[in-house]
Chain A
Amino acid sequence: MKNVLLPGLLISSLALTAVYAAEEPNADAYREMTYGDRDANPALLVVDRGEELFKEKRGPKAVSMEECDFGLGKGVVKGVYAELPRYFQDTDRVQDLESRMITCMTTVQGFDEAELKKKTYANEKANEDNTDLEAIAVYIASQSDGMKINPPTAHPKEQEMIKVGEALFYHRTGPLDFSCASCHGADQKRIRLQNLGNFSKAGKDAQKAIGGWPTYRVSHAAVRTMQHRIWDCEGQMRLPDTEYGAPLSVALIAYLTAQAKDGTYVLPGMSR
């Protein structure tokens, strides 16, 4: 982790000598240099793998995920991520992409839920490749590239989920007394050199973050999804491991996505 950060630090400290007085230190120049070319995004390899997994007849029932409804009708993949999280009548729940994938893979393909959740994320410390769940998620999400962030908010359950997510955003707990708002509640803040979006207000910070996720984390050499993002943040707050796709994470994702409304998805993303 520290090693990966070094090139960024080096470059930004070079930049600093020139503009120290005028600008807060950050690693933007490094990022632009590294992630400017969208064809350079190794997530594209994972998207291809996800597409194969999605279309393959899998699970005890040997059916493909094309039999699933992600909100715009059975088999529709294009644009579904742009309109998630949303309320689903069959489960009577608001679901994000990943909790909906679990519904699909258990009910339609017949996979065992506990088995699916055993290994949700690749461990970057072990140089692992992305899990099937991560690959499928980034494939589906990437089919909303270029589209507006447009989560539906007409259903009362959708409104409720956003409200609960907002309350959770300000909920302080754990040995460091943190809530999400401790780091993401004001403009122009940084942890060390890492810029922090202000997600307490709707608009460009949330649009940039949500719009670029799932993302290829260069420091992880792996694609990371929103479920992973929430899990990682909670871990940094020194809280227990979040349960994949549980309403807690879905509520936070629903709130953040509502804050990002009218932004544009640029997927797959690529970041530090």
Chain B
Amino acid sequence: MKKTLLASVALTVLAGVAWAADDEKAIQALVDQYISTGYQQGEKQHLERLKQDETLITCSETRNIPSPEQAKAIIEREKATIKYPEGNKMLGNWEKGKEVFNTGFAMRVGVISPDKADKPRGGNCYACHAADPKEVAAGNIGNSLTGYGKMRGNSEETVKYTYDKIFNSQSMMACSNMPRFGHNGVLSPEQIADLVAFLVDPASPVNK
């Protein structure tokens, strides 16, 4: 026993992390199998969330580096999903947007404090983005949005660009790290319009 162990340790050292002859399909089959058995069952677990759409399948397989053809297909597909608020009013209220930007409450399932239906959701944007310079506890996974409106103005074009980006980030950049907030139903079109206002309104602290 001890001898075999020593031998295997020695082998490991020599080989580093040496893969067995592998087959991507076999690994992917195990991935699917482990996902199907990896979570607790039951209605409140919302297991439908584990189903990937075509876009996420491509992003997972390519580790977020799709080929130019794949990227083009994703962008076209995702663009078609964008829905606008009533009357195409893409510029909402920045003060409401400030709340949505800051609030982290959304989409919890399972055993710990699932979402209350009547509690408004947020985008938890500070988790990844800086915005109001007074908020120092901002993450840096996304780029800083401080001065966003000062730099880009608040033209119709900028407003639409910003709305589209938040509603479906992958309509502009295939396999973007950013959640597709509107497409996935995390935020409503009106909430996204409020976020747009928070970013571009000259009165918003983002642009002070």
A235 touches B (CB below 8 Å): yes
Q: Does A30 contact B (CB under 8 A)?
A: no
Asked if B98 is an interface residue, CB under 8 A from chain A, the answer is no
B140 x A24 contact (CB < 8 A): yes
Residue in A13, A152, A239 whose CB lies within 8 Å of B8: A152
Selecting from B10-18, B87-95, B157-165, B189-197, the interface stretch reads B10-18
Q: Does A189 contact B (CB under 8 A)?
A: yes
Enumerate chain B residues within 8 angstroms of A24, measured Cβ to Cβ.
140
Of A177, A182, A235, A258, which one neighbours B112 at CB under 8 angstroms? A235
| Contact A164:B20 (CB < 8 A) given known A154-B8, A174-B49, A191-B128 | no
Within 8 A of B (CB), among A191-247: 191-194, 196, 202, 234-235, 238-243, 246-247
With a cutoff of 8 Å between Cβ atoms, the chain B residues found around residue A271 in the complex are none
Does residue B177 face the partner (Cβ distance < 8 Å to A)?
yes
Binary contact track B62-80/A, C-beta < 8 Å → 1, others 0? 0110000000000000000
Kindly state whether residue A173 has any CB partner on chain B within 8 Å. Answer: yes
Is there a chain B Cβ closer than 8 Å to A33's Cβ? no
Which one of A25, A150, A164, A258 contacts B137 once the chains associate, using CB atoms below 8 Å? A25
Q: Among residues 1 to 28 in chain B, which have CB atoms less than 8 Å away from a CB atom of chain A?
A: 1, 5, 7-9, 11-12, 15, 17-20, 22, 27-28
Query: Are B138 and A192 in touch, CB under 8 angstroms?
Result: yes
Chain B residues near A240 (CB, 8 Å)? 39-40, 45-47, 49-50, 109-110
Does more than half of chain B's interface fall in helix, strand or loop, or is it mixed?
loop
User: A16, A176, A239, A243: which contacts B184 (Cβ < 8 A)?
Assistant: A176
Task: Determine which of A152, A164, A190, A234 lies in contact with B12 in the assembled complex, contact meaning CB atoms within 8 Å.
Answer: A152
B39, A192: Cβ atoms under 8 Å?
A: no
Chain A CB within 8 A of B127 CB: yes
Q: By the criterion CB–CB under 8 Å, are B18 and A246 in contact?
A: no
Q: Which residues of A contact B110 (CB under 8 A)?
A: 235, 240-241
Residues of A within 8 A of B59 (CB): 172, 177
Determine whether the beta carbon of B49 is less than 8 Å from that of A156: no
State whether A73 and B1 are in contact (beta carbons under 8 Å apart), knowing that A159-B19, A175-B49, A235-B108 are contacts in the complex.
yes
Closest to B7 in A: A154
Nearest-neighbor residue (CB-CB) of A247 within chain B: B34
Question: Closest CB of chain B to A86's CB: distance in Å?
Answer: 10
Contact residues in B for A261 (Cβ distance below 8 Å): 17
Contacts of B109 in A (CB 8 A): 238-240
Provide the residues of chain B in CB contact with A183, threshold 8 Å: 141
Is B117 an interface residue when CB atoms closer than 8 A count as contact? no
Most buried by A among B50, B126, B139: B139
B52 at the interface (CB under 8 A from A): yes
CB pair A175 B107 closer than 8 Å: yes
Kindly state whether residue A63 has any CB partner on chain B within 8 Å. no
A53 at the binding interface (Cβ < 8 Å): no
Instruction: Flag if B107 contacts A163 (CB, 8 Å).
Output: no
Give the CA-CA distance A178 to B138 in the complex, in Å: 19
- The CA of A153 and the CA of B19, in the complex, are separated in Å by 9
Q: List 29 A-B contacts (CB under 8 A).
A: A25-B137, A123-B112, A153-B17, A154-B9, A168-B31, A168-B34, A172-B52, A174-B50, A176-B179, A177-B179, A183-B141, A189-B139, A189-B140, A190-B139, A190-B140, A191-B127, A191-B141, A192-B138, A192-B139, A193-B139, A234-B39, A240-B45, A240-B47, A240-B109, A241-B40, A243-B37, A246-B39, A248-B35, A248-B39
| A binding-site residues for B, Cβ under 8 Å | 9, 13, 16, 24-25, 72-73, 123, 125, 150, 152-156, 159-160, 162-164, 167-168, 170-179, 181-183, 186, 188-194, 196, 202, 234-235, 238-243, 246-249, 251, 258, 261
Residues of B participating in the A interface, judged by any CB pair closer than 8 Å? 1, 5, 7-9, 11-12, 15, 17-20, 22, 27-28, 30-31, 33-35, 37-40, 45-47, 49-52, 56, 59-60, 63-64, 106-113, 126-128, 136-141, 177-180, 184-186
